[in-house]
């Protein structure tokens, strides 16, 4: 009996689109935020195939509570043969509350509605466990939870952790239906909901913009980028399912019996959302790819971004910007004692090997550098640093500059614009794009690629602070003892410095200089 019931439940969850009960799709609910102008919000749902349907947008919290019978818009469509309807609302300025009334006309008229709808900006938050880490797990959690009720115009939504071998039309399950922030909705169990990075990012935006912000979390611990990528995106990077079908992947602590981990989260947790109009996305992922396809991340990650952009643009009938702003967190730290190259390699690949973003391969992106936020004593493991406040704030600066056009907002740490090597005098000048603030020690954060056997072999040699001169926009490194120097790199370590004590920061916003590597052309 028990088995039968669970089988039935399992069955039901996969036939949602064949179920013609008149309703909105899973992620349209009371208290939601719909994307404001200039885009038009897309609304869709299910109903009787062939039936006529209207959707009206009306002011007021819910029917009967508006200022009379004003209707802002009324859109009529015919439900298609699959029992799906989809339409665009007019472009709306931010604000609310509104309610949305849908009526289906069969032999009887059926009415359903959503109440307390706001217009504002909708941001999608995705990635692995560092995105999943909840507000209750971060430093200063109690202050954040206390602040929650000051932001009734931020609305939260969290998709359930699900996987699928095929692209699903709708979410299988929802962990948190659209809700107002509260200690309860923000502070669930460890790695459940709501995401601390997503919340802090949204809280800063709401505070600055003074209008509603919708936050949609869809993240899953321990997952590689391949799971979040469509088959088309993976193919562009030379990855095909056939090569991977014996692979069983360890999602956090749950073994997945799926034939392949490729695309399973794209299919179940992102593809269902593409019909929703969104402002942009933020992403915190990459730790898992320090073990899987590390060298391909400079392809898989930029390709994921362009693929998501194309699919959201299409799904929303052209309403989501085809190059919507995409912010991401450059990996933090993992192991202090056993320094390996894979963390810096992923950090570098996260920028498509440019070192900074946006760049020509990653337009309209912004990056929060976090390699200086290591937290060795995190009770969640050192791979899960608790300072999510700084992460969310640094992302917010990027959003202001890239997504909201505040060009003067500093969101990038210093980065070299040129490197001049003077072999005859055995020193190099690294010129940065902005003034440098020296914070921590400069011992060993720079390394020079040296040969001690007249160019037969090379190795990276750390530069002691006594070999460095830092002037306002320049680092001068002398390399006597290394006359054949062939390259220079900065912060190329899993754990490059103590908490907020890397060598170089920006003066104004104290943003860390990102890592870089440069080989000299000779």
Ligand X SMILES: *[C@@H]1O[C@H](CO)[C@@H](O)[C@H](O)[C@H]1NC(C)=O
Q: Residues interacting with ligand X, by CB under 6 A?
A: 44, 84, 86, 106-108, 139-140, 143, 169, 189-190, 271-272, 274-275, 295, 298-299, 315, 353, 379, 387, 389, 422, 429, 471, 474, 476
**Which CB atom, from 108 or from 360, has the smaller least distance to ligand X?**
108
d(CA 211, CA 143): 22
Least distance between ligand X and beta carbon 320 (Å): 12
Question: Residue 464 CB, nearest distance to ligand X (Å)?
Answer: 18
Q: Which of 198, 211, 210 is nearest to 389 (CA)?
A: 198
Q: Give least dist CB 342 to ligand X, A.
A: 10
State the minimum distance, in angstroms, from the CB of residue 85 to ligand X.
8
Which tokens hold the place of 486? 């062939």
| Complex with ligand X: residue 115 or 349, whichever CB lies closer | 349
Q: Cβ 133 to ligand X, closest distance in Å?
A: 10
Q: Which residue, chain included where needed, has tokens 């926009």?
A: 473
**Nearer to ligand X among residue 68 and residue 189 (C-beta):** 189
The three-point CA angle 476-477-483 to 5° equals 135
Distance CA 450, CA 452 (A): 7
Collect all residues with Cβ–Cβ distance below 8 Å to 284 and sequence separation of at least 6: 127, 128, 130, 131, 197, 219, 328, 329, 391
- Vertex 272: Cα angle to 266 and 278 (nearest 5): 95
The least distance separating ligand X from the CB of residue 319, rounded to whole angstroms, comes to: 12
Name the token pair of 255.
Answer: 């073994």
What is the pairing mode between strands 174-179 and 213-219? unpaired
State which residue, 7 or 425, has the beta carbon closest to ligand X.
425
Nearer to ligand X by Cβ, of 116 and 170: the residue is 170
In this complex, which beta carbon is closest to ligand X, that of residue 353 or of residue 484? 353
- Closest separation in Å from C-beta 311 to ligand X: 9
Question: What's the rounded Cα separation, in Å, for the pair 378 and 95?
Answer: 40
Alpha helices by DSSP H, listed for 213-275, are 231-236, 264-265
| 289 in Cβ contact with 297 (< 8 Å) | yes
Total count of residues recorded for the chain: 522
* Residue 48 Cβ vs ligand X, minimum distance, rounded to whole Å: 9
Kindly state the smallest distance separating residue 11's Cβ from ligand X, in Å: 19
97 vs 355 by CB, closer to ligand X: 355
The answer to whether 335 and 494 have CB atoms below 8 angstroms apart is: yes
Query: Is the CB of residue 225 less than 8 Å from the CB of residue 300?
Result: yes
- Which H, E and C letters describe 88-144, residue by residue? ECCCCCCEEEEEEEEEEECCCEEEEEEEEEEEEEEEEEEECHHHHCEHHHCCCHHHH
* CB of 387 or CB of 494, closer to ligand X: 387
CB 477 within 8 A of CB 446: yes
Nearer to ligand X, 98 or 432 (CB): 432
Q: In 338-442, which residue ranges form alpha helices assigned H by DSSP?
A: 342-349, 388-402
């Amino acid at each position: 009996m028990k088995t039968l019931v669970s089988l039935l439940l399992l069955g039901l969850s996969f036939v949602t689109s064949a179920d013609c009960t008149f309703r909105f799709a899973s992620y349209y609910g009371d208290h939601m935020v719909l994307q404001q102008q200039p885009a038009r919000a897309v609304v869709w749902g299910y109903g009787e195939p062939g039936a006529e349907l209207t959707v009206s947008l009306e002011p007021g919290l819910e029917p009967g509570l508006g200022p009379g019978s004003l209707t802002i818009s009324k859109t009529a469509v015919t439900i298609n043969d699959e029992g799906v309807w989809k339409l665009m609302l007019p472009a709306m300025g931010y604000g609310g509350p509104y309610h949305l009334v849908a009526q289906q006309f069969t032999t009887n008229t059926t009415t359903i509605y959503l109440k307390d709808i706001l217009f504002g900006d909708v941001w999608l938050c995705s990635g692995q466990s560092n995105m999943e880490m909840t507000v209750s797990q971060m430093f200063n959690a109690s202050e954040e939870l206390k602040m929650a009720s000051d932001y009734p115009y931020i609305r939260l939504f969290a998709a359930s952790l699900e996987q699928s071998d095929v692209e699903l039309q709708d979410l299988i399950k929802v962990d948190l239906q659209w809700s107002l922030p509260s200690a309860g909705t923000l502070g669930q169990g460890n790695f459940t909901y709501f995401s601390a990075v997503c919340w802090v990012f949204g809280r800063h935006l709401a505070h600055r913009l003074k209008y509603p912000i919708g936050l949609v979390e869809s993240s899953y611990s321990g997952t590689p980028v391949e799971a979040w990528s469509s088959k088309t995106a993976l193919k562009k990077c030379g990855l095909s399912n056939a090569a991977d079908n014996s692979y069983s992947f360890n999602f956090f602590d749950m073994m997945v019996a799926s034939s392949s981990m490729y695309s399973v989260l794209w299919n179940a947790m992102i593809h269902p959302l593409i019909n929703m109009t969104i402002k942009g996305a933020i992403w915190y992922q990459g730790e898992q790819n320090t073990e899987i396809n590390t060298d391909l991340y400079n392809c898989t990650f930029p390709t994921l971004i362009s693929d998501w952009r194309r699919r959201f643009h299409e799904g929303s009938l052209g309403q989501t910007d085809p190059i919507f702003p995409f912010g991401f967190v450059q990996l933090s730290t993992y192991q202090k004692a056993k320094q390996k190259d894979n963390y810096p390699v992923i950090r570098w690949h996260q920028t498509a090997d440019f070192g900074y973003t946006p760049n020509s391969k990653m337009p309209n992106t912004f990056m929060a550098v976090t390699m200086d936020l290591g937290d060795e004593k995190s009770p969640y493991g050192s791979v899960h640093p608790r300072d999510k406040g700084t992460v969310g704030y640094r992302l917010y600066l990027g959003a202001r500059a890239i997504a909201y056009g505040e060009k003067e907002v500093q969101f990038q740490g210093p980065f070299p614009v040129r490197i001049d090597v003077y072999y005859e005098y055995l020193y190099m000048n690294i010129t940065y794009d902005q003034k440098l603030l020296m914070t921590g020690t400069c011992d060993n954060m720079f390394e020079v690629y040296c040969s001690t056997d007249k160019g037969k072999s090379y190795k990276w040699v750390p530069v002691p602070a006594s070999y460095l001169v830092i002037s306002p926009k320049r680092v001068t490194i002398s390399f006597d003892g290394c006359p054949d120097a062939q390259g220079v790199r900065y912060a190329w370590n899993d754990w490059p410095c103590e908490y907020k004590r890397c060598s170089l920061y920006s003066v104004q916003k104290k943003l860390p200089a990102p890592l870089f590597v440069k080989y000299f052309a000779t």
